Every structure is written in structure tokens, then in C-alpha cells.
Amino acid sequence: MQKPTLVILDAYATNPGDLSWAPVNALAECTVYDRTPPAQVLERIGNAEAVMLNKAVLKAATIRSAPRLKYVGVLATGYNTIDLKAARERGLIVTNVPGYSTPSVAQHTFALLLECTNQVARHSSDAHAGGWAAHADYSYRLTPLLELAGQTLGLVGFGQIGQAVARIGASFGMRVLVHRQRTTLPPPEGVEYVSLDRLFAESDVLSLHCPLTPETEGLVHAGRLRQMKPSAILLNTARGPLVVEQDLAEALKNHRLAAVAVDVLSTEPPAPDNPLLSAPRCWITPHLAWATKAARNRLIHMAAENYRAYLAGQPIHQVL
């Protein structure tokens, strides 16, 4: 029996060569591209029946023009790069991969936070440069050090990643406040559901873990930032457009926030004039929180299982 045809449009971020696409190759005649320029998306899909992609964009015109396309497998949890209206009109099955990166993103959230509070890299660089050898005392600090125990951790969003971050925060002895859309179930022990106003006003550390939707775009703006403590730290490992970046840069410059650490920006890669690139006390990593080898391996195997279930007529993790 002839295998169906499948194209992976932007494979490199998921698998730069340290993993195998064998779980997907076992199910389809697979063509793999490391990267696909927007102008070549339709051409590369060609007559394929299925496509997998991470950040490549499937516009309405592409969806309507791909003659045999029936299945779209998103190699990520977020699926805002797909025109869902056009996909629905075409009757496509669209799946995503939830939960694969939860431990890694939660871990990176605290890597960012601990860099803000302890600034390990700065102190290590100074010691290597001779600062410790030249110092009069056995111990010195280039920056204030903040103990997390007793601090209030505020979370916007409480999916799998938000819940994992809450557990880690609690293990540090932090008080945990959460704002989420669905509050029909009682919060876990040690977690309090609060309004956005309370969350922004009371958090010592505010961490974003909600999806990007029309309602959450620009959630963190000048008005919200004015509600925060000047001593507060803002973290974003979710989506860049949740934040109005110019407002955030201004808050840092005017000392209305102590620090910011983000793994995502509004445009990726960023434009050279992105205001956060030159903002003080702002740590930036290049959207890598999800990208441990363990998480990427889970992603490939879960994406293959999604496609296997679709071929069996029982699709799972459906967006559409």
C-alpha cells in the first residue's frame, strides 16, 4: 500500500540533526525542509496530503490553493500561524502538541528569574576577570540579591506550564496568586485565584503563561505596568505580543520595574530597533525555553502519534 505524502516545512528548530524523524517517516513519504521562505510555502506543499510546521505560516490563500491538503500537524502547542477560518472551510484536520515542553519551559522560567535575582553570569564574569582576586573581602556583591521565599508569585494563565511554575514557586516558599479564565474548579492547595488588578498590584514576580488571543494581545501595557510595584520582576515565556514592548521599555528606563526577563518578543527574530534590546535590566533569551533535547524528542513522537491517529480515523489533539 502506498504511503501518504507529507511535507515538513520548517524542521530545523525542532530537529537540527540531533534527533530522528523516523517516527514520522514510518507513516508517510516525507519531504523535510529545514526552513521555508513564505513565498515558497505553497510550492513546497505541492500535492502533499499532509503538512507539519512549527512557525511557518499557513495563510488562507495557501490553504485554499493546496489541492490535496487534508491534514495540518502543528509542531508546537500554539497554532496562531494557521488561518483556522480557511482551514475550517476546507474541512482540514488541524492538530497541535500540548504539554510536550511543560517541564522545560517551567525550568527556563526559573532560570530567567534566578538570573534576575542572583545575577550569576555577572558575578561569574567578574570573578573570571579578576574582580574577586583583587577584592579586599572574601565575599562581595555587585548587585542586590533577592530571596524568593516569602515573595508573591503572580501567574497569568494556569494551564500545564502555569501549574508547573506554581509548584516550583511554592517549593521556593513563594505565595502563589493566579489569574485564569476558568475558575469553576477550586484552586490547588496554596494557590489563590484573583482578579488581574490584584495580580498586577500584589505580585513581586509576575509571570505570563497564557495563550495569545485577541483578548490577551497587549495585556501588559502602560496602565497595567503602573499598577505594579517598582520592585517587581516581569517574566514572559509565553508569547511576545502579550506585552506592549515600548511601554515595558519605558517602565524599565523610568525605574517603575526592577527587572524584566523574556524568552519571546513581538517579532522573531527581532528588529534591531526593538525597544527591549536596549532597555536596562532586561534579560532576553531567543525563544529557547521549549527546546531541550528531551522536549523536542517528545514533540516529534507526539506529532507522529497525532498523525497516526488521524490516519486511523480517530484524530487526537484536534484544533479543528
The span from the CA of 98 to the CA of 78, in Å, is: 8
Reference 275, options 240, 233, 238; nearest CA is 240
* Sign of CA pseudo-dihedral 202, 206, 209, 215: positive
CA atoms within 13 A on the CB side of 246: 1
Give the active site residue among 179, 180, 239, 298: 239
Q: Has 115 been annotated as catalytic?
A: no
The span from the CA of 62 to the CA of 219, in Å, is: 31
Give the active site residue among 29, 43, 89, 268: 268
Q: Has 268 been annotated as catalytic?
A: yes
Q: What type of residue is 209?
A: H
Cβ 67 vs Cβ 42: under 8 Å:
no
Cβ 50 vs Cβ 28: under 8 Å:
yes
Give the active site residue among 175, 287, 298, 317: 287
Q: Has 43 been annotated as catalytic?
A: no
Reference 177, options 136, 50, 165, 139; nearest CA is 165
Q: Measure Cα distances from 25 to 53, 96, 256 in Å.
A: 15, 18, 52
Q: What type of residue is 120?
A: V
Q: Active-site residues: which are they?
A: 239, 268, 287
